[in-house]
């Protein structure tokens, strides 16, 4: 079957032999003028296609042959936008495994053998990193108690620091019920360890992070010694650290203090902590939206006394990323039901994605 010659209307600027105005009928056969075919694609960002239809030096090929199906198909394929690469996600399974190893130590209340083992675990995990052990003695209701913060530094190109923090100990007053704090202290310790893995890759071979330095803080003594929480019997590690950094000038370098607490919960429901810095809340919300995680964040507002407050009180932009709704009617919180079966890799993946994206957004400010 023979196809009739293709005809089209319009000016033909590449034909210098005949002057034709707009709206005239071109008398030629488009199969004999690849110049016209080429002109259809002149403004498209596809130099490969241009080179295909036009010979070396951009000179058009002329042929009386009808373009083959293969030729047209290739042209269409070249014009088809490439699919966007699949979005990569944080390794929540690795964070969960770190948490499992850490929680296997057992209860980690201050002065206990388990607390000493937790220190050994952290020291071993970060022995090849820039690790500082911040030792201090806390004045508590049971007398002076030695405590230790662990600070791991990953240097960046920009002048300033983003701090990610979690507490790692369990409650002294729960020492008789085998409280292991899988979610409360354990999950976020695993989270920061897995974040450290990614940061470590980024600074391999003497490189620096593209943005601000990131410091991971594993703080001691967040939990109260006695059953009743008070401002003086709680947050020992961050109160000490905020005061120390205020004295030596470090506090002025901190661009953001981001606290992670109890966010390994399988039924993730992170509250908007109302004492947190507004612009940091907005950035975390923006980060969550990027991944379609809006339903897990900020559906409720609640004021929470936690490790971020010593930094809030000193004017450091701070946020508490916390899920204080753990189990039916919060029934797992501070009980022996806070075990590994209540936390998930899925929740830790969400946390890691949002934390790393929040760091990126802060770097852009």
Handedness of CA 272, 274, 277, 278 (dihedral sign): positive
pLDDT computed for residue 87 by the predictor: 75
pLDDT computed for residue 6 by the predictor: 40
Candidates 131, 115, 44; CA nearest to 81 is 44
pLDDT band at 158 (very low <50, low <70, confident <90, very high): very high
Residue 344, number of CB atoms within 10 A of its CB = 19
Rounded CA gap, 56 and 59, in Å? Answer: 6
Rounded CA gap, 13 and 142, in Å? Answer: 93
Per-residue pLDDT tens over the stretch 168-189: 999 999 999 999 999 999 999 9
Per-residue pLDDT tens over the stretch 61-101: 444 444 454 554 555 445 455 555 677 999 999 999 999 99
Over the range 83-121, which residues count as b (16 or more CB within 10 Å of their CB) and which as e?
Answer: eeeeeeebbbebbbbbbeebbebebbbbebebbeebbeb
Mean pLDDT of the chain: 85
Task: Note if the pTM is more than 0.75.
Answer: yes
Per-residue pLDDT tens over the stretch 112-126: 999 999 999 999 999
Average pLDDT over every residue of 323-329: 96
Burial of residue 62 (CB within 10 Å: 0-12, 13-18, 19+) is exposed
Tokens linked to 190: 């695993």
Q: Which domains are assigned to the chain?
A: 7-80 (no CATH), 92-364 (3.40.630.10)
Strands 270-273 and 297-302: parallel
pLDDT computed for residue 82 by the predictor: 54
pLDDT computed for residue 301 by the predictor: 97
With helix as H, strand as E and coil as C, how does the chain read?
CCCCCCCCECCCCCCCCCCCCCCCECCCCHHHCHHHHHHCCCCCCCHHHHHHHECHHHCECCCCCCCCHHHHHHHHHHHCCCCCCCCCCCCHHHHHHHHHHHHCCCCCCCCCHHHHHHHHHHHHHCCCCEEEEEEEEEEECCEEEEEEEEEEEECEEEEEEEEEEEECCCCHHHCCCCCCCHHHHHHHHHHHHHHHHHHHHHCHHHCCEEEEEEEEEEECCCCCCCCCCCCCCCCHHHHHHHHHHHHHCHHHHEEEEEEEECCCECCCCEEEECCCCHHHHHHHHHHHHHCCCHHHEEEEEECCCCCCHHHHCCCCCEEEEECCCCCHHHCCCCCCCCCHHHECHHHHHHHHHHHHHHHHHHHHC
User: Which residues are 209's β-sheet partners?
Assistant: 156
Instruction: Tell which wins on pLDDT, 14 or 147.
Output: 147
Residue 9: pLDDT over 80: no
User: Which residues are 162's β-sheet partners?
Assistant: 214, 256
pLDDT computed for residue 85 by the predictor: 60
């Amino acid at each position: 079957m023979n196809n009739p010659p293709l005809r089209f209307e319009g000016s033909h600027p590449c034909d210098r032999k005949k002057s034709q105005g707009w709206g005239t009928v071109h008398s030629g056969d488009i199969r004999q003028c690849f110049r016209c075919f080429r002109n259809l694609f002149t403004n498209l960002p596809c130099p490969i296609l241009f080179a295909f239809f036009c010979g070396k030096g951009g000179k058009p090929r002329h042929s009386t042959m009808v373009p083959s199906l293969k030729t047209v198909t290739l042209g269409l394929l070249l014009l088809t936008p490439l699919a966007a690469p699949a979005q990569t996600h944080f390794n929540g399974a690795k964070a969960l495994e770190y948490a499992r190893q850490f929680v296997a130590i057992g209860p980690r209340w201050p002065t206990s053998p388990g607390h000493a083992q937790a220190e050994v675990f952290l020291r071993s995990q970060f022995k090849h990193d820039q690790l500082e052990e911040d030792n201090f003695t806390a004045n508590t209701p049971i007398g002076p108690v030695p405590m230790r913060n662990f600070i791991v530094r990953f240097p960046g190109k920009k002048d300033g620091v983003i701090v990610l923090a979690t507490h790692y100990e369990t409650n002294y007053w729960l020492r008789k019920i085998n409280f292991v704090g899988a979610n409360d202290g354990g999950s976020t310790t695993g989270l920061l360890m897995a974040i450290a893995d990614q940061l470590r890759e980024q600074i391999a071979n003497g490189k620096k992070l593209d943005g601000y330095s990131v410091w991971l803080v594993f703080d001691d003594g967040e939990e109260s010694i006695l059953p009743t929480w008070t401002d003086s019997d709680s947050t020992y590690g961050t109160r000490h650290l905020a005061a120390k950094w205020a004295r030596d000038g470090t506090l002025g370098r901190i661009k953001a203090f981001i606290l992670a607490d109890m966010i390994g919960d399988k039924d993730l429901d992170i509250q908007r902590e109302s004492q947190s810095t507004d612009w940091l809340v907005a950035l975390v919300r923006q980060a969550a939206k990027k991944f379609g995680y809006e339903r897990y964040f900020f559906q409720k507002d609640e004021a929470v006394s936690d490790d971020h407050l010593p930094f809030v009180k000193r004017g450091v932009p701070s946020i508490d990323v916390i899920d204080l709704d753990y189990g039916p009617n919060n029934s797992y919180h501070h009980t022996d039901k806070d075990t590994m079966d209540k936390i998930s890799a899925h929740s830790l993946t969400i946390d890691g994605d949002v934390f790393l994206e929040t760091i990126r957004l802060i770097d852009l400010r």
